Amino acid sequence: MAESNQEWEALIPSCFGIADLKFARYPLDEARAKSMIKEARKSGSSSEEIIETIRAFLVTQGAPSAHIEDELQYARRLMTQ
């Protein structure tokens, strides 16, 4: 695990739509998500650490589990681009 995830973790909320909690579906959110992923990788975080941090954020926002899984699947696709 990376030593300090705080910087990129703080970027996670800005990667989501405010009303719908969809990850990187809007142009600005997508740009922020790509930047967050880049920062996370630069800090030494693995893809799975990024996914688990996104999951934790969605849980704190009260997202239903089906929504969480959809968004994590989308995040995984974005990370492979």
pLDDT band at 79 (very low <50, low <70, confident <90, very high): very high
Average pLDDT over residues 63-77: 98
Question: Rounded CA gap, 75 and 10, in Å?
Answer: 17
> What are 15-61's pLDDT values in tens digits?
999 999 999 999 999 999 999 999 999 999 999 999 999 999 999 99
Question: Rounded CA gap, 16 and 30, in Å?
Answer: 8
pLDDT of residue 11: 97
For residue 72, give the amino acid letter. Answer: L
The pTM (predicted TM-score) of the whole model is 0.91
Question: Rounded CA gap, 19 and 8, in Å?
Answer: 22
